[in-house]
């Protein structure tokens, strides 16, 4: 069969196949999320809501299973890649001896040109994107719809909210009944929705990793309001690249601030968007990220037997 110099495993779901594919080649485990931490946060979040205790129980069991399995995968890999500093720290708590390198998610900056919403659109749109059967995204949408959106509509009844992403979960049906909410399901391209949005929101209360949704909105230079967890691992600051808010009142106030700014001269939104796009250009383009991955590869030496050299050719 084929002999590989390095085998890279993308995500914990593929880790079970590493031994079969690698042979004696070193394995790089790319942990897209610190999975045990994600289940831990799911469990603790659901425990606060009695009607979600059944889900909390499931996550408690998965949390313990994943702690053991994720630790085993990290120990067996020649190198581990985490997408953020907090994820690396969480993995080190499991496996202090593991060789873990932070290489964040990347984005094609040119594919997300900045675009201003149509000024003739009198009803500003808030946008949330993501795979909508993913528990952290479901939780984020329900929290925003129940706790934050009513506060915004009390002052701005003209506001609309779009939830864009495939496989909307039945738990989101309660939001479909609101006339201000549109749940699109899968779309061919998220960029037209980004272009039309007045404010991009990241109301995450659960999760981990580096959120591609945040990088997309930042690359598109959108005004963003996020929870602290929603941009965990990204070197952003409140009032510089985006507005941070962790309570319903703060989240609603931040959105209303951006909508008021938009109705005036839009200077705050443009300043935040420009700074966010600069950060992506400096830290999260493929031109920046791929050399870091290549550098990691150079530290790994294949352990399979050296192939025979043709006579007269120097190794």
Distance separating alpha carbons of residues 128 and 204, to the nearest angstrom: 10
pLDDT value of position 13: 84
pLDDT value of position 212: 86
More confident residue, 156 or 37: 156
| pLDDT exceeds 90 at position 84 | no
Distance separating alpha carbons of residues 288 and 148, to the nearest angstrom: 37
Arithmetic mean of pLDDT, 213-227: 96
pLDDT value of position 268: 97
Cβ atoms < 10 Å from Cβ of 182: 15
Residue 102 backbone phi and psi in degrees, to 5? -90, 120
| pLDDT exceeds 60 at position 311 | no
Mean pLDDT lowest among 19-23, 83-87, 157-161, 175-179: 19-23
| pLDDT exceeds 60 at position 302 | no
Name the 3-class secondary structure at 56. helix
Contact 207, 231 (CB under 8 A): no
pLDDT value of position 219: 97
Q: Which two tokens stand for residue 148?
A: 């934050």
**E strands within the chain?**
7-10, 27-31, 79-82, 100-102, 125-129, 160-164, 181-185, 199-202, 224-226, 243-244
Name the 3-class secondary structure at 142. helix
| pLDDT exceeds 60 at position 208 | no
Distance separating alpha carbons of residues 91 and 77, to the nearest angstrom: 13
More confident residue, 66 or 198: 198
Average pLDDT, the chain: 86
Q: pLDDT, tens digit, for every residue of 134-182?
A: 888 999 999 999 999 999 999 999 999 999 999 999 999 999 999 999 9
Nearest Cα residue to 277 out of 221, 194, 216: 221
Q: How far is CA 205 from CA 5, 44, 85, 312, in A?
A: 40, 11, 18, 63
| Cα radius of gyration (the chain) | 22
Q: pLDDT, tens digit, for every residue of 94-143?
A: 889 988 999 988 899 999 999 877 665 668 999 999 999 988 899 999 99
Nearest Cα residue to 215 out of 287, 138, 112, 125: 112
| pLDDT exceeds 50 at position 305 | no
Q: How far is CA 77 from CA 24, 99, 140, 315, in A?
A: 12, 9, 33, 27
Q: What is the secondary structure of 72-134 as a DSSP string?
A: HHHHHSSEEEESSHHHHHHHHHH-TT--EEE----B-GGGS---PPPTT--S-EEEEES-TTS
CA atoms lying within 13 Å on the CB side of residue 194: 25
Q: How confident is the model at residue 300 (pLDDT cuts 50, 70, 90)?
A: confident
| pLDDT exceeds 50 at position 309 | no
Distance separating alpha carbons of residues 296 and 257, to the nearest angstrom: 44
Contact 26, 80 (CB under 8 A): no
pTM metric for this prediction:
0.81
CB neighbour list of residue 205: distance below 8 Å, 6 or more residues apart: 45, 136, 139, 140, 143, 227, 229
Contact 218, 224 (CB under 8 A): yes
pLDDT value of position 310: 32
Q: How confident is the model at residue 301 (pLDDT cuts 50, 70, 90)?
A: low
pLDDT value of position 307: 32
| pLDDT exceeds 80 at position 213 | yes
Distance separating alpha carbons of residues 255 and 243, to the nearest angstrom: 9
pLDDT value of position 31: 84
Contact 300, 260 (CB under 8 A): no
Arithmetic mean of pLDDT, 194-207: 92
Q: How confident is the model at residue 303 (pLDDT cuts 50, 70, 90)?
A: very low
Mean pLDDT lowest among 29-33, 60-64, 211-215, 301-305: 301-305
């Amino acid at each position: 069969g084929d002999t590989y110099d390095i085998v890279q495993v993308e995500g914990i779901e593929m880790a079970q196949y590493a031994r079969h594919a690698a042979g004696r080649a070193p394995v790089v485990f790319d942990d897209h999320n610190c999975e045990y931490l994600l289940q831990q946060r799911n469990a603790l979040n659901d425990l606060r809501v009695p009607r979600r205790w059944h889900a909390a129980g499931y996550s408690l069991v998965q949390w313990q299973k994943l702690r053991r399995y994720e630790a085993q995968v990290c120990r067996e890999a020649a190198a581990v890649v985490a997408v953020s500093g907090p994820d690396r720290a969480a993995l080190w708590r499991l496996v202090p001896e593991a060789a873990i390198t932070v290489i964040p998610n990347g984005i094609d900056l040119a594919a997300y040109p900045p675009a201003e919403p149509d000024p003739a659109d009198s009803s500003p749109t808030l946008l949330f994107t993501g795979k909508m059967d993913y528990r952290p995204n479901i939780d984020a949408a329900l929290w925003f719809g129940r706790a934050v959106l009513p506060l915004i509509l009390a002052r701005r009844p003209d506001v609309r909210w779009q939830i864009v992403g495939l496989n909307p979960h039945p738990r989101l049906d309660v939001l479909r009944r609101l006339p201000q909410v549109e749940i699109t399901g899968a779309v061919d391209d998220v960029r037209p929705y980004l272009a039309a949005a007045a404010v991009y929101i990241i109301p995450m209360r659960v999760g981990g990793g580096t959120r591609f949704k945040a990088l997309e909105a930042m690359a598109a230079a959108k005004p963003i309001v996020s929870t602290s967890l929603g941009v965990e691992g990204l070197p952003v600051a409140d009032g510089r690249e985006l507005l941070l808010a962790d309570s319903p009142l703060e989240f609603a106030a931040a959105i209303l601030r951006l909508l008021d700014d938009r109705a005036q001269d839009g200077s705050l939104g443009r300043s935040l968007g420009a700074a966010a796009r600069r950060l992506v250009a400096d830290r999260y383009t493929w031109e920046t990220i791929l050399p870091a991955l290549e550098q990691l590869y150079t530290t790994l030496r294949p352990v399979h037997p050296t192939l025979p050299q043709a006579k007269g050719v120097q190794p």
